Each structure stands twice: as C-alpha cells, then as structure tokens.
Chains A and B, each alone.
Chain A
C-alpha cells in the first residue's frame, strides 16, 4: 500500500506535532491557546514543533511542570544541545545573564543581587511606591481624557521603582523602555535583538563606571563594588543590570495594564476589590490575576541533561522541554472549580506565574508589593474607570515573549 497525503489515516495526521507558540482564540484575550487545553486533557506531555523544525516536549499539567522545574537534570543553559530556543541562539557572551545559566554559576551570580529583593527590604519600600502611584494618578486625573493607561500609569510605576532600586536615572526611560520592548519581542530579527541588547548593556556599563567612581545606596553600586573586588567582570555586572532592568519593569507593567483590563471585563470582581477594606482580599486578587493572566506565555524552556522518566514517558538527554505554565495555571487538578474563571477569592498562591525551581523569579516580593498597591489604589481613586475602546480594537502583545496590551485607552 502506498502512503500519500490523500490516504493517511486521521490519527496519523493528528500525531503531527502542532506549531508552538500557538495562537489564542479571537475574542478570548485572557485565555491560553485552546489547543493547549486539548493537549492537557489528553496527557501531561506532548510534542510541539518549533520555528527550526525541532520537536521538543511540551508539558501541560501543573504537577509535572512543578516536578520538572525543580529537577536538576534539566538545564536552563541556552547553549546546551536540544535547548528549545524561541529564536536562533545568540553568540556566547551576548546573553542576558544568569537566567540562562545553571548552578553553581547561576547561584553564585544570583546571590549577588538577591538582598535588595528580600521581603523585608522590599516591604520597606511600600510608602515610596504608594507615593509614586498616588502622584501618577493625580497627574492622570488632571490630564485629558481618554488616556492610555499603559503610558500614563502601568509602565511608569514599575519603571520608576526599579530605577530607584537599581540606581538608573528615570530620565532615560524612553531609551531603556524602547530597547527592552525590542529585546522581548519574539518576532524581531536576531540582529535587531542583539543590537538592542548591546545598546542596553553599554548603557548599564556606563552607569557602572559612574557607580565605581561615586557609589550610591543602590543595587548597581553594590555590583560595582563587587567588580572592584574582582568577584565578577564588569560585563557580567552590566548583563545582570540589563536583566533586572527589563524584568523589573516590563512584567509588572503588563500585569498592571492587563490586570486592569481583566477587572474591567469582570465588573463584579472589580467592585468587590474596590469596595473592600480587607487587605487579604487585595493580596488574594494579586495572586489570582497572576495565575489567571500568566503573562509569561512563551513557556519556560529547558534542555534534558540525563534521561528522566515522568508521566509514562522518557525524556531523553539532549531533548528540549517547554513548560507551558500558562495552561499549568489553568489545570483543574491544581485549581479546582472552574480554573478558567477569574475569582479573586480563590486561593491561588501556589500558581507558577513566577516559575518554580532554582530560577524562580527573584523579584517576586517587589512585583507582589507593587501590584497590591496598584490594585488596592487605582480603582478606589478612580471608581468610574472604564475602557475607552472596544475590546476587539486593543493591540494585544501576541508577538511579545511577555503578554499584555501595547495600549489601554481608559476614561472615567
């Protein structure tokens, strides 16, 4: 019997790995792509096809995702064989630091910058963050309507906060925001991404030079001191600065804008959040929105170092693994009831929006604090806040490695 396209049985066709990343359903901007849900129903592991034709594993269920993210037999090193990169791998030495490294080097570098993100240190920033939020709302209320909430509020809040923590002049925000946007866009060319990364690394290198000469009470000065002491190179320090600067403003900004949009589309949830005096409900809403929106929608990526048996399959050394945490955060076995419903009263604290394992987000205490202050302030101060555009018109970041909206026109 000869096989050709006309008589391949349907089962064989359905076994062809689907392309990844997958498109979201139109009209459902908050939900992961429907094929992810279908795959999750079928099993914890499946195969997908990437831009380069490779077919790494895709892990869709919460329990297996957590187990694998905590497994040292998986590597985050982008240069390892089988690493399922979303784009051509940049030349060595042109990376953004320790998120793409393994222990012990990852741990050595990471521990150099964890102190300012410790919970108590971060919580001491609350009054300052509250003031930033209040002043931006004052300015917005005094300005014209409608306004783009991204530009007027969602992006400035975390940008100002991370600038103060790092010791980066906020006056340069147009420069670093533009370059960050290019770096995390998954549809730009390798050349465009490398050029933007080079510009930001050079910029941070220049700031480190200033901090070496005149240290301040900020994170970059701490790194400069370590450079002076020979603990790390100036290049490594600049790359860490780039990583923290990008991670510190892009992610939180998207959570503020997309979170606000989600709440505007769920008016009864927004009303409950606005009218409560219970701080626990506000922090619960932060966790639920992190779970429900899961903005890091490109999946966490790893290379297998040693064979791993899991969920009845064997992940072979040299294969790639993508952990689709967006659908993991919608796994009914981890989030009972209806995981596709936004419910700010749900206990969602065990979500994997910040990842899990040795690479779990180090800035999460800061992100949580910023979101608690923002979600706890904006809707109370602007109780008639409303969307000033049709949902279908909004430019969603389908092309971003971090999801969100490019613009959010609002009025009140």
Chain B
C-alpha cells in the first residue's frame, strides 16, 4: 500500500494498461501536455502513433473512438471537462451506446472516456457540470465515479481492460487528494459499492465528488450522537443496488449526496431504488442532497451557496433522526 494522489493513481493506471496491451490507444485534446496531469508521460513512453493530440473536435473524437474500437482497438479518449461531452454527444448517445445492440452483437466497443466533472473552483457554468445522470440514462454505457485514489486506479484499469464502453469521470475537486493505493496489480470490480464507514442510524450514499463533504458530515453527526453509515457508490452503471438496500435495511434512513442537479439525478435514481426495494425498512422519508436545478454560478460566494456541503448533509440526516435523537 502506497499513499498517492488521485490524479497520480489515474496516471499509473493509464501507464500500466497501455503497457499491457499494444492495441490500446489514447487520443484527445491536449493529452500530450496533460493539462490535468492524468496523461503525463504517455506520449514519451508510447509514441505518437498510440498517443495523439487531436484538434478541438469532440464530435469527431468520440466518433473516432467508436470507429477505431469497432475496427479492433482498445480506445481511451479524453474529453477534458465533462461539459465538452455535449459537443460530442451524437457519437456517444447515438453511436457508442447503441452500436453493439444495433449490429446484433457483431462487435464489442472497448472504449474508456475520461472526463473531469464538477464545480467548486469558480470555473463557471460551462466547466462545472456533474452530468453523470445524462450518461446513466443512455443505457449500454458504464458510468464510473470513483472517490478515492485506490478506487480510481483499480476501476480505471478494469474499465480499460473490459470490452464495454465506459465513462470514467474524475471529480475535479479530488485531483490532489491523497489516499492509499494497493501496490502491484490492482483491479476493482465495477458495479460494487463500498461501505466506507459503518453506522447504525442513517445511510449516507455518496456519489463521487461529494466524498469529503459526506465524511465530514459523518464526523459531525457522530459528535451529535448519530452514527452514519457511508456507502460510496463508486459506479452508477452498473449500480450496486444490493449494498445500498442492505445498508438501509440496517439503518432505516437514507440521505443520498450527489453533485448533480436534483432533477433526475443519480440521487433520484438511488432514492427510487430504495423506495422500491427497501420500503419496509424505511423509518423516515428519503432525502436528497443535490444541486438545485440551476447552472453553477461563477462568484465564489454564489457557487458556495449552491454547492452541497457537509452542513447540508448534517441537516438532512439530523432531521431524519430527530424523533429518536430527542427520545434518547
């Protein structure tokens, strides 16, 4: 086990997987200089055939990923900010998500799309979306939101290696955050949530970028006598419904924390699953801590007001626990 930063863990995964399979190629905007640090050193090591800077043309980057994968390559593309997915969306939603079905399974599409998502750094509305719900709704595409360096490395390696199209979404606020990463070959299965903290009173389901706020909230809640269980969802498609529902069966209460806009967020889906499959265990309504249905503003104070934080989570969880807390 070695302590590494989130970005460094991603960089290692890319180096290892490109080293492992010579048919793995990577292209996208500014991958040579690695503006986020994640693709650093790949061009020098693997050369300009396999690592290419593209023009700024997301529609073609995403479409080429489909064509090159259909023609036998294992493809990694970098979309930079996840907002830029929108300019490449035909190739993602109409081609990448559907080609395997439409061809009756004649091909696999081993494609991994890297993109950095989320706000919190005054990047303003067009560089701050948490747009995983848009991708979750497509069907046929894995949506991964690792929250720790260890999971980032292990899940990225699994995603590159399997034959499914996947979006590996990197939380913009987590890039410099450190964490333990197992040494040697480290693969994390997809579609498995992890219980990051055990607790008896309330389940906090974290979606990707909100992990620190969720952890801080759990600490504050503990100080107030409420023991929160944190389920880090890790992967939204496939979604580990079992781990989430089982946790709620233990605690009877659920708060889902998601940086997406509230409407049709990942939190909405998780709430629906628990309402459907864990209804009898619920002792209180389900709460979602999300972003209002607004775009992220620029000004630091305005963004902070919109951005979900630990206090929002504490408030939501405390309200759910109120009768018992009062009785105790």
Chain A complexes with chain B: no
B residues in contact (CB < 8 Å) with A: none
A residues in contact (CB < 8 Å) with B: none
